[in-house]
Structure 1
């Protein structure tokens, strides 16, 4: 039975992350905030109006880098403290105070990018040739030169940056603070419900009556907040549209893709090919679930049931370490040493508590180690999720050792490749170490229901829906709850066809994801997993040479664009071959699950 969640103060310290690695005391944090504010003013006074040539540009960038590197741990500390407890007023106020300070600093220092943009192409290329540390930043400035506004306009926009982040904060407040879920009833017995318990437990509960009742109760509460959440989202969209128009981009999609360093054909291909070619495989999987569980009908609320729920191993936090160490041993000692440190040095926040952000994420501040948020339920799924987040940690651990702060972060298009790679290594390690058909079926179904469902279905359907939203916004339109519900339902019906009943409440799924406030993020999950699927095949076939190639890719960070990074790994993502190969591979896995089901009987 799912229990009500404890408060943050009631959880064990060893299950929380140690933010003291960023700042030992609150006083140290406050002092750092004060110091960086003072130094930002000094920087502006010293360098504004001085950037005339390559030498003065590099001189200013050197000083700006010091300031930027000071801001990173301050912002990370404020954000992470708030993310584990949205009900903590002090943490929320600290985060808000930092956002205001960051907006002020951004406004003060906006002259730097404006003055750099006004330099000639030859001077920018000269500066780039002289300093590898700033090559990516300067290339970005050259690319965005046509879209740069008057320095005073840039300064004003920067001053409003914390206001532009307000819709996302409002979304989180609505979702994690104001939304309280009532108990739901099955056979005269009450069961507690929360965001975490629904997504971590009830959504995949093998008891059909409880699972569907939980879905209905969860959806009913979402429906109470649909209009507020839609208005919040529309506010975010209109700000993106205004910025895109001001800068002269042909569309919001083009504006958002500019940050990812990929062209529109790569974006559209990922959505169109999967919507059309993966759908038949996933419908087959849905029908298999219906047959195994002898369901009267297959509904949207049933799609997360495990193939074999009675076989789901439970895993302690300590046991998860051995699973992950063994699975990732192929990556080499330096990599697994990092994993061990993540456990021993408390990089990971395992606790379940009220007010904690849902899902999981990895924050990697430059100059420090990563921090991973997860709500540990003890299911094997958690091990896959943690391996995924440690993939992000491993990526930044390698990149930041070899790249400057401006070259360290890879494009969002590539960002999910190292994380999903770890999930694939975990699954293949488990498969290799057993001949039991039931265990093999459990592992294969885990790959489908978790790794691929999450990245190639859940997030891809978000992406297909998101593209429809931006098509409305690009035509000058607005959205409300009715429109968003219709769009989401339409995408779900298109993908699942007549094989899955899209029951009431499924259309509200758009309310559950924070990704819509992060640009064109959802489609990149499937892009990353396409790369990691192909790379995993290489690693399993070739061993160390392929691993060495992959580590070199991780170390490159953001010094190359996604197509170049994939090329270093021997994968050509400028064609549809890797994507079609991955979809075929998913089909093969589902065929194997079906065959093993018949064998097990």
Structure 2
């Protein structure tokens, strides 16, 4: 890890994404920004006319499809430019203008859903019969009508659409504060060397074998967040209040019910997750006990959570090595799959390394008319290798969906969004474990798999419990202050990690730094997706071609069915607790395997 972050212009070109594939000249972005407004104006002229004739409705949806293509490029380009350097005022201006355009076009077209709801089933069927091309938009129309009980009149829908930018203010302010404005101190390692902290570098320091560095970075990092505790609380409270406002306006019983219904998923899916996790909490506590034993510490602290359980072993993997590993691990998915992965590597779909001001974390984002993109902050750790194949899974899901569906039907729901990414991770795990060069390396790989379970099945469920509890508190009228949020988070941390873990006081401020708390009940889907992915990867490795074919059919299906039905294509039924319980059983087996692997080390 370099001690100083490079500036954006100092990063090697081949390690940056080629956003010129979207716009090779920003004047074209400007033109499309204007074009989007013009299309929205044309659509607005159809207000009050959608039930007149099938031809009128078809013309409206053709314009809608054109707007989707245009805004997808405008917004995608602007936000990725902004993310590569959050301190660049020019790109932040682009991002803000794109967001304003998105909200503006939403306002102008907010009449569409309410008017479609006013058309009777009989008239719609007659429209489809007289204008067969309308069936191109039937899935979208059906989805709008599914939410009929929660749609409002045109004027109110326009009002809610115009509130979109206001409701996104908390998330935007959080992002700017945590990525651009918040500065972290340098800390010293056990040799007295200074290490500069940042969002991107925090977890790598927590993975260090140097316990003094881990403790120092933990205290400095969360201490910095604590300094702004009231600001974080106000931002999160604003996020929650926005959800409650919209859920009440749409006549839902709760913000959570509104969020899952938007994805066409039953609340029972998340409730099943909570139930299974609580029933298997002993496995998490067993994991914590094993970690304490293998680290050989008298007290296990929260700054001991990320470091490998084999303190004398480590792996450093260059980006080039990671690419080769990914191709070998993903080989069971077929040559056609690998060819696209190679194209991503060879044609700069990926922004690889951290630079000053770059957004933390990692993500995949697709531009329908171009190709998917990936943002990484690669630091040569084993975790970074898994992050690479994780984001590649997202990108491949996007690639298959965009190649097989229209832009209207290609955008898969959040509920299934983490399945492809995690399936890739599980395939990588099995490949690396089976090809380990030593007992130590094998145990190190198993350790990573256990970490994935801990981080995804347990940690994300804990996050969801925090989100659910705090939203319910707000709905009941309990103020969301820094102190109440701290208490909820710290108590959950103690429950999940158990008595063998010292839940250090500063960990109660971890909620301040989690961006997903601004994603409207997103995180439980990491856990359900992880469970589905474990099952899918197992089928691919055991059954071969038939399972791969079904999996690719799932990847190619976009949002053409509800999420639970889509997963059934790949052989998994998340309407039951079975996949969750099965995945947690695998976690228990991995614990057994780890205990066996370290006996002779």
Answer yes or no: same fold by TM over 0.5.
yes
The range that moved more, 333-342 or 53-62, is 53-62
Which residue number in structure 2 is paired with residue 548 of structure 1? 549
Shift of 1:50: 3.9
Distance in 2 between residues matched to 1:468 and 1:207, nearest whole Å: 36
**Cα–Cα, structure 1 residues 126 and 85, in superposed 2: closer, same or farther, change >3 Å?**
farther
Distance in 2 between residues matched to 1:491 and 1:70, nearest whole Å: 44
Distance in 1 between residues matched to 2:138 and 2:311, nearest whole Å: 52
Distance in 1 between residues matched to 2:245 and 2:125, nearest whole Å: 31
Distance in 2 between residues matched to 1:492 and 1:366, nearest whole Å: 40
Shift of 1:169: 0.7
**Cα–Cα, structure 1 residues 546 and 127, in superposed 2: closer, same or farther, change >3 Å?**
farther
Aligned to 2:299, the other structure's residue is in SS state coil
Q: Write the deviation string for residues 39-87 of structure 1: whole angstroms up to 9, x where unpaired.
A: 2212322565343355532331122111111110100001101111111
Tell me which of 166, 174, 194 is aligned to 1:190.
194
Which residue number in structure 1 is paired with residue 499 of structure 2? 498
Shift of 1:548: 0.6
Q: Write the deviation string for residues 309-345 of structure 1: whole angstroms up to 9, x where unpaired.
A: 5433222222211111111111112211111111111
Q: Is the 8 A contact 1:352 1:376 kept in 2?
A: yes
Q: Which runs of 4+ in 1 moved over 4 A?
A: 124-132, 186-189
Aligned to 1:363, the other structure's residue is in SS state strand
Q: Write the deviation string for residues 128-160 of structure 1: whole angstroms up to 9, x where unpaired.
A: 785553233112211111111121111122123
Matched, 1:267 2:259: no
Which residue number in structure 1 is paired with residue 209 of structure 2? 206
Distance in 2 between residues matched to 1:338 and 1:311, nearest whole Å: 34
Structure 2: gaps of 5 or more residues: none
Shift of 1:431: 2.2
Matched, 1:115 2:119: no
Q: Is the 8 A contact 1:328 1:425 kept in 2?
A: yes
Distance in 1 between residues matched to 2:442 and 2:575, nearest whole Å: 34
TM-score (norm 2): 0.96
Distance in 2 between residues matched to 1:315 and 1:185, nearest whole Å: 25
The range that moved more, 88-97 or 190-199, is 190-199
Which residue number in structure 1 is paired with residue 427 of structure 2? 425
**Cα–Cα, structure 1 residues 53 and 15, in superposed 2: closer, same or farther, change >3 Å?**
same
Matched, 1:297 2:299: yes
**Cα–Cα, structure 1 residues 128 and 466, in superposed 2: closer, same or farther, change >3 Å?**
farther
Matches within 5 A, 1:333-348: 333-348=335-350
Distance in 2 between residues matched to 1:70 and 1:123, nearest whole Å: 31
Matches within 5 A, 1:565-576: 565-576=566-577
The range that moved more, 17-26 or 567-576, is 567-576
The RMSD of aligned alpha carbons is: 1.7
Shift of 1:231: 0.2
Matched, 1:510 2:500: no
Matched, 1:23 2:27: no
Q: Is the 8 A contact 1:437 1:596 kept in 2?
A: yes
Distance in 2 between residues matched to 1:323 and 1:261, nearest whole Å: 37
The range that moved more, 57-66 or 323-332, is 57-66
Distance in 2 between residues matched to 1:264 and 1:385, nearest whole Å: 29
The range that moved more, 520-529 or 283-292, is 283-292
Which residue number in structure 1 is paired with residue 104 of structure 2? 104
Shift of 1:587: 0.7
Matched, 1:256 2:264: no
Which residue number in structure 2 is paired with residue 476 of structure 1? 477
Aligned to 2:364, the other structure's residue is in SS state strand
The range that moved more, 75-84 or 62-71, is 62-71
**Cα–Cα, structure 1 residues 125 and 530, in superposed 2: closer, same or farther, change >3 Å?**
farther
Shift of 1:424: 0.5
TM-score (norm 1): 0.96
Q: Write the deviation string for residues 419-444 of structure 1: whole angstroms up to 9, x where unpaired.
A: 00000011111122247322221111
The range that moved more, 159-168 or 254-263, is 159-168
Which residue number in structure 2 is paired with residue 247 of structure 1? 250
Q: Is the 8 A contact 2:415 2:563 kept in 1?
A: yes
Q: Is the 8 A contact 2:189 2:210 kept in 1?
A: no
Matches within 5 A, 1:166-245: 166-186=169-189, 188-199=192-203, 201-245=204-248
Shift of 1:552: 0.7
Q: Write the deviation string for residues 161-183 of structure 1: whole angstroms up to 9, x where unpaired.
A: 22221111100111112211112
Shift of 1:453: 2.5
Q: Is the 8 A contact 1:82 1:91 kept in 2?
A: yes
Which residue number in structure 2 is paired with residue 155 of structure 1? 158
Distance in 2 between residues matched to 1:410 and 1:127, nearest whole Å: 27
Shift of 1:122: 3.3
The range that moved more, 128-137 or 329-338, is 128-137
Which residue number in structure 2 is paired with residue 531 of structure 1? 532
Which residue number in structure 1 is paired with residue 595 of structure 2? 594
Matched, 1:330 2:332: yes
Distance in 1 between residues matched to 2:234 and 2:128, nearest whole Å: 43
Q: Is the 8 A contact 1:364 1:371 kept in 2?
A: yes
Q: Is the 8 A contact 2:43 2:63 kept in 1?
A: yes
Tell me which of 374, 396, 399 is aligned to 1:397.
399
Shift of 1:102: 1.7
Shift of 1:125: 5.5
Shift of 1:189: 4.5
**Cα–Cα, structure 1 residues 125 and 578, in superposed 2: closer, same or farther, change >3 Å?**
farther
Structure 1: gaps of 5 or more residues: none
Q: Is the 8 A contact 1:219 1:508 kept in 2?
A: yes
Which residue number in structure 2 is paired with residue 87 of structure 1? 87
Aligned to 1:388, the other structure's residue is in SS state helix
Which residue number in structure 1 is paired with residue 139 of structure 2? 136
**Cα–Cα, structure 1 residues 428 and 518, in superposed 2: closer, same or farther, change >3 Å?**
same
Distance in 2 between residues matched to 1:143 and 1:128, nearest whole Å: 18
Q: Is the 8 A contact 1:176 1:356 kept in 2?
A: yes
Matches within 5 A, 1:59-74: 59-74=59-74
**Cα–Cα, structure 1 residues 496 and 434, in superposed 2: closer, same or farther, change >3 Å?**
closer
Distance in 1 between residues matched to 2:500 and 2:152, nearest whole Å: 51
Shift of 1:186: 4.8
Aligned to 2:177, the other structure's residue is in SS state helix
**Cα–Cα, structure 1 residues 128 and 528, in superposed 2: closer, same or farther, change >3 Å?**
farther
Distance in 2 between residues matched to 1:543 and 1:46, nearest whole Å: 51
Tell me which of 164, 168, 171 is aligned to 2:167.
164
Distance in 2 between residues matched to 1:433 and 1:126, nearest whole Å: 60
Aligned to 1:221, the other structure's residue is in SS state helix
Q: Write the deviation string for residues 375-397 of structure 1: whole angstroms up to 9, x where unpaired.
A: 01011221110100000011111
How many equivalent residue pairs? 597
Shift of 1:288: 1.7
Which residue number in structure 1 is paired with residue 52 of structure 2? 52
